[in-house]
A and B are shown apart, each in its own frame.
Chain A
Amino acid sequence: MNPRITLATTTRILRQLRADHRTIAMMLVVPCVLLGLLAWIFDGTPVFDRIGAALLGVFPFVVMFIVTSVATLRERTSGTLERLLTTPLGKGDFMLGYALAFGIMAVLQALIATGFAIWVCGLDIAGPKWLLVVVAVCDALLGTALGLLVSGFAATEFQAVQFMPAFVLPQFLLCGLLVPRDALPSILSTLSDFMPLSYAVDAMRTIAAVPEPVGEVTTDIAVIVGAIVLSLALGSLTLRRRTP
């Protein structure tokens, strides 16, 4: 790995994004629209305060997962990945290059979505606002890392998009949004312990409910960061220099 090549890769990906206004809108606007819709649906009830923060963790995760899995798959099918792997570019340069580029987008996305939820939708939280942003960025990065991993198993963009229901929806169902995780049947509850999105939702809920949540949330963040690193490492194993 080589910092020059990693950063060149990040710059190249951001340049590609800059030329693609619709994808930027997808990343920055869609989470706000979804949060706005939700706040409107539950207008006048306490529900939005209960689940708004948690969804602030879920939406960036889903959006980044889709964008990343399709972007990297395009790199495989266009032959650019095969070409890059004949150059001095390391697998880590490729994975980190994507993680950094989409990480920058994730920071923007988290700032906009959190600001929108608090100041436009009137989300009430007990803990500090900056911590919401930190967890939202981690969730978006988790989506990116899982997207990079999963794109290795998709042969076409058509399949990549279909991984969304396969990889994301089970996590969504079990993460504690619909039914609290400790109220789930024990097998499902154990399953949810192995799903990184559960920790994202736990962290967001704690921030929403507890005035001094830093200590409690640190463990959740550590699990999420561990899942990011593991996904990136596994994902780089799916990049093969030699193919059949």
Chain B
Amino acid sequence: MNNDQGGRQSGGSTPGSGAAVVVEHLHVVRGERVVLPDLSVTVPTGQVVGLLGPSGGGKSTLMRAIVGVQQVESGEVTVLGEPAGSSALRHRVGYVTQSPSVYADLSVRHNLAYFAKVLGAPKDSVDRAIDAVDLRSHADSSVGTLSGGERSRVSLAAALVGDPELLVLDEPTVGLDPVLRRDLWNLFKRLAHEQGRTLFVSSHVMDEATRCDRLLLLRDGEILSDSTLPELLRRTGAPDAEQAFLALVDEAAANPREAR
């Protein structure tokens, strides 16, 4: 099972140097099911890294392990040089869950003001976060009265107020219209390329692959590919990310013993 360690380092970034997240031999069981059998991966600093794959493939579990809320059986997860979930990381890592986790009975502003206080962020961070997710006109509306897409933007803003070095975003663009999706991906890129933040973003929409600096394809708890999109297309000869993914799935199915 571990005979492919050499080939796995297709990213070229060695663990420890310039890596925001280093996951080594992560083994996670949820209920009766082994969600991640033996996963090793590295997320480089200052990039937008996309985690793509079908739902149920272990994306959320990997993200939960990185932010330190997932019980793990074995393996090591190092985030910004510290063990995942350690108290030193709590104001350096922002986490946005798949379903919006904000208070429905508070206004957008009061929600963000609370998270800003908890994170020890300056007062003006609230207004900056509201502008970043384009909710100025709804700032004083109760979150419960907003649409699903607006709520998930409030949830994202609640992580942005803390200006974290690593942002872990679980499907942040679900249910958003194309214009908003484009704007958010531009925001992610600005955060990474201009401010040196690291973004780890999951999606099950393959066309969002073109927005990422780097792509991880995760299926059934195994990393099928870890590269940039051009590299992936060259290797598989596929015209787009979706076709490349299908090609890799077929390849793994035809050759289960030595996937990759």
Contact = CB atoms under 8 A, between A and B. Distances in A.
Contacts of B162: 87
A87 B101 contact: no
Interface of B: 30-31, 67-71, 85, 87, 90-91, 93, 95, 97, 99-106, 110, 114-115, 117-120, 142, 158, 162
A242 B105 contact: no
25 contacts: A4-B120, A5-B117, A11-B114, A15-B110, A16-B103, A16-B105, A19-B106, A78-B101, A79-B97, A82-B69, A83-B95, A83-B97, A84-B118, A86-B68, A86-B69, A86-B93, A87-B118, A87-B119, A88-B90, A89-B118, A241-B69, A242-B69, A242-B70, A243-B69, A243-B70
Given A83-B97, A88-B118, A243-B71, A78 B106 contact: no
Nearest to A90: B87
Contacts of B69: 82, 85-86, 241-243
A26 interface: no
A79 B99 contact: yes
A8 B30 CA distance: 34
Nearest to A17: B105
- Which label, helix, strand, loop or mixed, suits the secondary structure of the B interface? loop
Contacts of B102: 80
Contacts of A84: 118
Nearest to A81: B101
B218 to A, nearest CB: 20
A56 to B, nearest CB: 30
Contacts of B110: 12, 15
Interface of A: 4-5, 8-9, 11-12, 15-16, 19-20, 78-80, 82-89, 241-244
Contacts of A82: 69, 97, 101
B178 to A, nearest CB: 27
B18 to A, nearest CB: 24
B33 to A, nearest CB: 11
Which 10 residue pairs of A and B lie closest in terms of their CB atoms, listed nearest first? Answer: A79-B101, A8-B117, A12-B114, A83-B101, A88-B90, A242-B71, A86-B95, A80-B101, A19-B105, A16-B105
